[in-house]
A and B are shown apart, each in its own frame.
Chain A
Amino acid sequence: MNDQLAPGKRPDDGSPPTELTLAALPAGRPARILDVLGEDALAARLMEMGLIPGETVVFHRAAPLGDPLEFSVCGYRISLRKSEAARVTVAPD
């Protein structure tokens, strides 16, 4: 699985418009994580929290002031700022 979805080698199935970042995901619609961009501490942190390629993620709601955002992944709820969510690319199911 790791080899197929290594960063930078996104599967090209000829339908690029279906690829979004987590920050732009519509609420309530499950999506599959494609990639976590970058190799820094933030990318590592997102991945150790379960945001890894292949996992399903659902966007629930934004905080009243618009940021941060609430998602569920790996069976729990996580809050990310928009700037952090933009690091994760997803394909809606």
Chain B
Amino acid sequence: MTPPAPTAVPAPPPGPATVPRSRGSKVAPVRPLVVALVGNPNTGKSTLFNALCGARARTGNFPGVTVEKKVGRLKLPLDGVAADRAAEVIDLPGTYSLSPRSADEMVSVDVLLGDAGGGALRTPRPDAVVCVVDASNLHRNLYLVSQVLELGLPVVIALNMGDVARLRGTTIDVPALSQKLGVPVIPTEAHRRRGLNELRAAIVAAAAGPAPQPVRSLPDAVSEEADVLDGWLAEHGCPDVPAYLRERMLLDVGGQVVERYRGRCTGDLPAHLGGVRARLAEAGCRVPAVEAAGRYGWAREMLNGTVETAVEPAATASDKIDRFLTHRVWGLLTFAVLMFLVFQAIFSWAGPFMDAIGEGQGWLTGLVQDAMPPGAFRSLIIDGVIAGVGGVLIFLPQIVILFLAIAVLEDCGYMARAAFLMDRLMSRLGLSGKSFVPLMSSFACAVPGVMATRVIENRRDRMVTILVAPLMSCSARLPVYLLLIGAFVPATAYLGGLVELQGLVLFGITSLGALVAIPVAWLLRKTWFKGETPPFVMELPPYRWPSLRNVALRVYDRGKAFVTRAGTLIFAATVLVWAAGYFPGDHTELHAVQAQIESESAEAEPDETVLEALELRRRRLSSDLIEASVLGRTGHAIEPVVKPLGWDWRIGVGALASFPAREVIIATLGTIYSLGGDVDETDDGLRDALRRSEWPDGDPVYTLPVALSVMVFFALCAQCAATLMVIKRETNSWRWPLFTFVYMTALAYIGALLTYQIGSRLF
């Protein structure tokens, strides 16, 4: 039996200890060792990664897919063994098998095969693979191990969670298991940081040595057919397909490997494979049952004599907790209370932190004002840079709080139960239970909500959830609603003050997005994300105490990812809109007035009447300047478009200027109505100004239908650069933020149009 040795695989690099180091002269840089980390979900793989690499991991995306790439540096040196060579650890997504059914699942296989896999990643083939297995559930974990052992790479098994296994009465003869598997097995307890040095040493030693003999857990008929397939593929323009991929072609009906090669090959690959599978079935090897039977049979053989499992107790602690937490009444009640707490935390506990960020922004603005004379540069610093940075940082408290909650719930095992409880409800929308928490979080803010969709492994479910998340009414919409409701909805009360009209309107407008999301999700499922309902085959891991370190690292990771990846783009959008509102225009007079105001207020006894007159002139000037700016001209130009909504050019400008963040419309309206930009939704001046605002013919601009039309527009539009940038980051493509913006703007326009046209006929 020959081990699969694809020709395109580069020869293993020289061992780390053989690299000479010469002082003073230049040595060609040595490529760091590459170590891939694989394992089932819930095996403590991320904890192990964090323990091995610390917080300095770099996260990014694999090109073309939505899979997060996490690379860390293995902490070395290790007693001088590998002092000359660094080692990189790639954390691959948790998976039960290496049988790729989607482009996302293909990533792990591509990383493990390196350049030989014919994928687009072009990463070097790893020097070693660490397979993390759960000692308390070895039987199922060995399925993945049997696949990893076929890849022809040096493998180290990290036997994690031995403490849980011991508690369950399982005893493992580690040397015997290692002997049987033919690879080193290192017991680790990642959360207690035990066994890490041994694991590091084993990784370095394995990477320097040869790959073990590949394991053959499948019947010979399968490997023989895979060898024959090599010839067929070579004849049809696809030479050198690695043996593992050929095997996957045979075993995965409609799998991703066939998908990759069907176009590259000159023959009809799917038809050919159909014939091969029929032959295999005749030989008693039916696909896909043959693989499961073979691998589980092999796993049983490995465990036989090496692992003793006590008879499982009738009810484990987890089971008792579950009896309560998935109970018809108590379970749902606990879930509701937990979700309410999370929601409350993002919605209001983040408030003080967000206020502090706002105050910091004001303090910085004050500093700049004192240090610089009024001018274009100062305006850029204050209204562009400081406002832009503030616009990014303002989201951090919500992101941190949500991910704190999610990391705790996930680490202790509750998240899977939440999905279990909510699946029925969400499946009516064509989604799964895993979409519930991200969507609910989006009611506070879509930015952490979209980031939270990472728990959904199915790509279609995840995409639909991301695309409807911005429809949920977030906290940034609230100021707009409060201003307009306060100004235009009469404070009528019904049922003796029990029900108020203003509250009713607020409730209605807040629910609107979620209601619209139902048909939108349905439509997306029927169009772009067609296909069978993805399976909801989900492990319910045993409950355990969350690891503080894990939780802290998760939160840090998300926060950093947001600030560095989305932050720069949000910042750019803010500066762009600032520029559109500033140029062109001669600001000399405004700056002169501004300087006068500042010197007057700096006097010991400022003359109030002079100051007031100057302030009035300043507001007039900035109002005129914004009208003459690119933004103002665009507002005038699009007036015919927004007129059917009942809007004048001012509201049009407000909607345009609030692209980076929807609450900006209040400050913009403040500027346009010559009140200065520092108004908020409770400002009586702005309310009065809105009420007094007239069309050239003297009719009032704002009526109840217009106010409703503006609210409906803001309920449905995508006026939030942060959300769009996070969608870009999470989907790894510009296509989806663009799509979100277009569909939501269209919905918002149609919604506002209907509201105004119907409303103005009724009232």
Contact = CB atoms under 8 A, between A and B. Distances in A.
Contact of A81 (B255, B312, B536, B541): B536
Contact of B99 (A1, A44, A72): A44
B540 interface: yes
Contacts of B633: none
B287 interface: yes
A70 B416 CA distance: 11
A89 to B, nearest CB: 13
B332 A64 contact: yes
Interface centre among B96, B255, B535, B538 (most CB of A within 10 A): B535
A2 B280 CA distance: 13
Interface centre among A44, A61, A67 (most CB of B within 10 A): A44
Nearest to A38: B288
Contacts, number: 146
A86 to B, nearest CB: 12
A66 B292 contact: no
Contact of B143 (A1, A36, A48, A72): A48
A45 B534 CA distance: 11
B296 interface: yes
B595 to A, nearest CB: 66
A1 B284 CA distance: 11
Interface string B276-315: 0000000011111111111111000000000001001000
Interface string B538-569: 11111000000000000000000000000000
Interface residues of B, number: 57
A52 interface: yes
B332 A76 contact: no
A49 B96 contact: yes
Contacts of A84: 535-537
A28 to B, nearest CB: 9
Contacts of A50: 139-140, 143, 296
Contact of A2 (B284, B288, B540): B284
A-side interface size class: 35 or more
B328 interface: yes
B420 A63 contact: yes
B248 to A, nearest CB: 11
Contacts of A70: 322, 326, 420, 540
Contacts of A49: 96, 140, 537, 539
A25 to B, nearest CB: 17
Interface centre among B319, B421, B538 (most CB of A within 10 A): B538
Nearest to B136: A75
A6 interface: yes
Interface string A9-52: 00000000000000000000000000010011111111111101
B691 to A, nearest CB: 48
Given A1-B297, A48-B96, A75-B312, A64 B137 contact: no
Contact of B540 (A6, A36, A77): A77
Contacts of B328: 64
B293 A2 contact: yes
B254 A2 contact: no
A78 B219 CA distance: 28
Interface of B: 96-97, 99, 101, 136-137, 139-140, 143, 219, 251-255, 284-297, 309, 312, 318-319, 322-323, 326-329, 331-332, 416, 420-421, 423-425, 427, 433, 535-542
Interface of A: 1-3, 6-7, 36, 39-50, 52-53, 55, 60-61, 63-68, 70, 72, 74-81, 84
19 contacts: A2-B285, A2-B290, A44-B288, A44-B291, A47-B288, A53-B293, A60-B319, A61-B322, A63-B421, A64-B421, A65-B421, A67-B423, A67-B424, A70-B326, A75-B309, A78-B537, A78-B538, A79-B423, A79-B537
Ranked nearest first, the 8 interchain pairs of A and B with the lowest CB-CB distance are A47-B292, A65-B424, A44-B288, A77-B540, A2-B293, A64-B328, A79-B538, A48-B97
